[in-house]
Structure 1
Amino acid sequence: MNLDAELSALAVQDDLPADLVRRLLHHPTARRSAALLRRDLTVESIEEIIRLGSMRSLAANAHVPAAVRARLAEQPEPEVRAAVAASAADDPPGLLARLADDPDPFVRSFLAMNELLPAEILAVLATDTEPSVRANVVTYGRHVPESVRRALLMDSDPEVRRRAASVYSPPADLLPGLLADPETRAVAARHADPSAELVGDPDPGVRRAVAAHPHLSAELRDVLASDADPFVRNAIAARPDTPSTLRESLVAGLATDDPLTEWFLSFGRNTHACPPRAAAPPRFTREQAEELITRAGL
């Protein structure tokens, strides 16, 4: 581990004395780490972080006092307000409503990522004029009311509709329209009864969805086992009801020299290997911490 990485790891050590934290704030990488992740920043340390120019990292720290969050939410830089919006609770009260009315769509898009939003704020963001905001409501706000879900499934923006159809189970009355829409047909096919029409669809995304459908018949499964698209065949190989002889034949035919394609195929069958977990950063005694900080000239 190089010196910068060691200082950054030290800056987030939970039992680090406040005087050492303050010294670390004069190292840019360590300061950003402390600003973002420490839960015990003192008033003095917060002011120092702001003075030294790491306000954006501080704004993303959900553990700063409410008064500091309110102050950061009023900053002229949209990046700072967006960092507050992404993780803040409604403390002080009314903070989230103010951010939902922010003039910059960048801020409102980050607010839509916030997992702490109440349903009424999500409903406001779901009607935002900026498509990226509505799209993030779909991606990050799973507990919106049914009326809001329906509106997003019929949104005027194709990306919003596509995300909504990927996340929500469409009501039966909307499913035919989603299947007729080229932008949502592939994801809507996950919710439709498998049919010969869908199995023969020219869009491989539709055929992949059908190949993974839990109610796919053996007859249609065997048709898709000969599909030209390797990811369709891979989806058939991943099915628990695919006979072992057919699965072995499919997997053998999916062999590729491209490591990225191989990883995606193995991921689809849940046979991939994840990289080993990174080692935990070292814990420093006070003596070791002081020696490291001194070596860095802080």
Structure 2
Amino acid sequence: MSSLRSIKGKIRSVQKTHQVTKAMEAVSGVKMRKSQIAALMARPYSFAAFRILSRITRSVDIAHHPLVLVRPVNRVLLVVVTSDKGLAGGLNSGATKCALATLADRMVSRENTGVLAIGRKGEEFFSRRGYLLEKHIQTMKDESAISDFNGVVSLITDLFTNGKYDECVLVYTNFRSTFEQEPVSRILLPFSVEGLSTMIKGIVPERGAFAEANANIENDARGADYLFEPSPEVVFETLLPRLMSIQLHHAFLEAKASEHSARMVAMRNASDKASEVTFSLTREYNKARQSAITREMSEIIGGIEAMK
């Protein structure tokens, strides 16, 4: 009888876990769609800024600008975007592995690497391994504005222009579809038009409900020459920090959509596994119960036969 109670308790426990995972799956699905819509809603602004930058580069020689100048890479600043919470499968481990692979490709040692961690998981990973943390930013809120990243942009540009780092690399998880998230690395500084173009293209997923929203950036980037006031140089100086904020903002939104998508899939797998465990425990319970009934009946029949 104690075995039956134990199995029954396990069944109740697994059923409660199943209810929790189903609820988390539903919540993550809604949050994933909201994050994806937020990224798409901000895309026209990014696209317009990109067109302005493309026209400025035809009027101004930006090659010698401090934020565009390419230097030999000896020290690297990693801007790693991860989540604050777990239960998202291999999402965060994929981002951290991508960051380590980026350093390995550049043959940069741990002593010559700085980390700006956006998200608690990335901060914990790199701090445990002895990397220099320039700053840690928690990402508990799902909603964010481009202006929220102005402070981060100021810190990054100061570190780069002061010569402390020769390159700044942004590492985050790109949302490709509900079941596919890809960790990617983008060169944030020195700034390049090609890097911004690649990121804007990646805002629209390859598959899904929003796949048709993609546009041909190359064709729209070409256009007539414009007159800039007060000068193209001043417009470029004003536009560049905004473009970096756009890149960070979209990386954050992509990482959030990937986080909720990975968590939704993980919770769906957990729910399916809970259903399998419940079925297995129920069958085990029925077998034990039938065995107990059979044993009791045998004892009753044996007692009756002994009384004859």
- The interval holding the TM-score normalised by the smaller chain is under 0.3
Q: Structure 1 length as normaliser, TM-score?
A: 0.21
Structure number with greater CO (CA < 8 Å, separation at least 6) is 2
Larger strand proportion of the pair: 2
